Structure 1
Amino acid sequence: MTIFPDEIVANILTRLPPKELVRARVVCKQWHALTSEYIFLHTNLLRHNAGHPIIGGFFLNDEIHEKFSYNTIHRHGSSLDLSYIPTTADTAQSKTYITSSCHGLLLCRRRRRIDGELGVYRARHYVCNPATMDFVEVDIPAGAGQYLNLAYDPSKSPHHYRIVARGHDGIRVYSSRTRSWRTAVRYDGCHSPFAGLRHPRGVFWNGSLVWAMLSPRLLRFAIENGELSEMPLPPRLRSEVWFHAGWVYAYVGESGGHLQVIGYTDEERRTACFDVLEMREEEKEEWTVLYRVDLTRVKELHPGDVRVPRVTLEHFSWGGAPLHVVRGPGETGRHGVLFFSVPGKIVCYDAESREVSVVWEDTAPSPPPSHFLSYTWFNFYAYTPSLVRL
């Protein structure tokens, strides 16, 4: 096994599909060491995606309506499920749902009954890697809060992840390295900095968690030093009259090491044309236009959806909602794609060719339409395979 240099062996192994690579890495210590390096994993994924954005598929997660599925976007992609997480006596009647995801790792929860007569429930939480079928149960201490976010950066620390728990009186952080929690921030519940939160799901970016607020601003928590601060939106989006101008905060996410936001006015909503803005890691709170999006073709595919009677924060006037931005490689992010939900479908929009393809379609009988369609960006979990062992 050692007659070839590491460079040649690594070059051969990068040509294996992710599923076969998981098996190959247990052949010998040399292969396991080579395939555990982040640069190797990155090269392997790029090769199998032919230079396109690195994403293997997406999870759709709706605990309220008890819906859950994984959907691959590649013709030869592998199916995934979480059935390898064992069922315990107190979780036998519950399903597994995703609470947070980050660079190939998932934070999942299963409800467990602790008082059968009173119907009192808590949850078991697991950090898992679907590609390697590894999982670790994490104990969430009482008072830590129910709003949990996974923070994991394989390029900087491939075997260290954190869980950020936001409660009514502070923020606690769990470290996989110490297997313990620490209190990072304390605040008065009556004067919480999270008042006016858009949604409890945060976005991990550049060592921080970022939350969208209902007012035109972002709230940032630096995990290492525990600092809470506000991040500015682009000038055109933080006008004092933003609400009266009909501005809608549609999406905040991370891709390729950059933070992306989508916001649009009433006029942009009606024409289905808007900008995807991004903040780069090396820049100091400066926003640039990543993509100029024209979704006219999506409107043409769904002409009956134009007359939606009411515009909400989650939906365009023509019935679509942005779900996820996948930034293309390189400085300009070319070959990027955007995922949108339209009634009955999830579509993929190529930012360069402007082509639209359907990547998921509801199979539930209609009418009535399935609640599974009502996905906003925080119910959509893009998945990138990772070979890290927990």
Structure 2
Amino acid sequence: MTFPDEIIANILTRLPPKELVRARVVCKQWHALTSEHLFMYTNLLRSNAGHPVIAGFFLNDEIHEKFSYNPLLRGYSSPDLSFIPTTADTANSETYVSSSCHGLLLCRRRRRIDGELGVYRARHYVCNPETMEFFEVDVPAGAGGADQYLNLAYDPLKSRHQYRIVARGHDGIRVYSSRTRSWRTAVRYDGRCRRSPFAGLRHPRGVFWNGSLVWAMLSPRLLRFAIDSGELSEMPLPPRLRSEGWFHAGWVYAYVGESGGRLQVIGYTDEERRAACFDVLEMRDDEGEWTVLYRVDLTRVKELYDVPGDDGARVARVTLEHFSWGGAPLHVVRGPGEAGRHGVLFFSVPGKIACYDAESRAVSVVWQDTATTSSPKHVLSYTWFNFYAYTPSFLRL
């Protein structure tokens, strides 16, 4: 007697994560059903009582040589990246995450160039920690060759067996396809020119959304690259920013991200930054309309936070993304359903990462830097481009 796929999938989603991995080897039908990204996401929701989730997150700070994975859900093992090979030219370097997209990671290991003192390049690997598979990608020299220019693009709901890498170099944009195992030049420009489309880029890390890479700029605007068509364009601003008054009020993008197929941005004026009260804005699709997902009020957190005093302690790397008291938004997880308002916001304070529940307004600490207790003078406060959300996938590379 055989059962329809829907019934078997419904049963399998109720298994604990470790048992689910074992169930995948029972037969080809079960293996195929559990390989779907939607199945994995459903299983995650069930294991967390339907609340919006990510399995965990990587903290990536190559400047200060800090890298860690921090689990958020019980029952899911932490990804181990030790399967990424160590070669002769990378023996003295660590593995860092350059991009994370729907269960796939783009990692890099710095390598020394023989005969050139102090000159380094990097080896780049696309990997799936869940299946422990990896593939080394040869990045063209003209693409910049550095991880801060590379972004992973993978949408399992549209093309489950294909991922792409977008490389933003000094002379143009190149796109790598896993299907052809090759690069193509999509856009050419002169990055040294003031009229370069990326002049005024806030950070090289882009966000994959709706078939495009989106970057935040220093001025209140977003730059979008459509991967299939190769078109570069500016995205429309939220309505209140279209007035000259808001521009001169010092409004800046503090966060750009994707969750639930929507694009989310967080920005604030200097006044809102000091008050730690701001809106999470959202764009659904190509209609170009921004809506308020929910409003965040971190006033109480600001009051409770012990601001470093004059005893020598300081907050490192405080940028425009940070609040005046050292905090910064890190990642928005959209709530379930069309409204999506019952989600969560991860944000940082020096030495800690906390989670804000948009429905209850409760705040909980999900990570704390143990090194700060012994060395309070070197407390780090992370920003959104140090934070890489992770949710497992069974995609085979």
Please tell me the TM-score bracket, short chain as reference.
over 0.9
2:99, 2:106 within 8 Å by CA — same for their partners in 1? yes
Give distance in 2, aligned partners of 1:305 and 1:277: 31
SS at match of 2:342: coil
Q: Matched residue pairs, number?
A: 387
1:319 is the counterpart of 2:326? yes
Give deviations 1:61-90, integer Å, cap 9, x for gaps. 011111100001124442222111111111
Equivalent positions of 1:104-253 (< 5 A) are: 104-116=103-115, 118-145=117-144, 146=146, 147-189=149-191, 190=193, 191-242=195-246, 244-253=248-257
Q: Match of 2:172, as an amino acid?
A: G
2:97, 2:105 within 8 Å by CA — same for their partners in 1? yes
Shift of the 306–300 alpha-carbon distance from structure 1 to 2, 3 Å rule, reads farther
Q: CA deviation at 1:243?
A: 5.4
Give distance in 2, aligned partners of 1:12 and 1:306: 56
Which residue in 2 is equivalent to 1:80? Answer: 79
SS at match of 2:335: coil
* TM-score, with length taken from structure 2: 0.92
1:359 is the counterpart of 2:358? no
Q: Match of 1:237, as an amino acid?
A: L
Q: CA deviation at 1:319?
A: 2.0
Q: CA deviation at 1:242?
A: 4.4
Which residue in 2 is equivalent to 1:375? Answer: 382
Give distance in 2, aligned partners of 1:143 and 1:22: 41
Give me the CA root mean square deviation: 2.1
Which residue in 1 is equivalent to 2:393? Answer: 386
Give distance in 1, aligned partners of 2:152 and 2:177: 10
Deviates more, 1:354-363 or 1:315-324: 315-324
SS at match of 2:253: strand
Give deviations 1:200-250, integer Å, cap 9, x for gaps. 000000000000000110000000000000002213234445454132321
1:306, 1:317 within 8 Å by CA — same for their partners in 2? no
Shift of the 6–244 alpha-carbon distance from structure 1 to 2, 3 Å rule, reads closer
Q: Percent identity?
A: 85
Which residue in 1 is equivalent to 2:293? Answer: 290
Give distance in 2, aligned partners of 1:224 and 1:318: 42
* TM-score, with length taken from structure 1: 0.94
Equivalent positions of 1:16-55 (< 5 A) are: 16-55=15-54
2:37, 2:393 within 8 Å by CA — same for their partners in 1? no
Q: CA deviation at 1:352?
A: 0.7
Which residue in 2 is equivalent to 1:254? Answer: 258
- Give 5+ residue unaligned stretches, structure 1: none
1:18, 1:385 within 8 Å by CA — same for their partners in 2? no
Give distance in 2, aligned partners of 1:274 and 1:117: 49
Q: CA deviation at 1:133?
A: 1.3
Deviates more, 1:238-247 or 1:176-185: 238-247
Give distance in 2, aligned partners of 1:224 and 1:42: 26
2:350, 2:382 within 8 Å by CA — same for their partners in 1? no
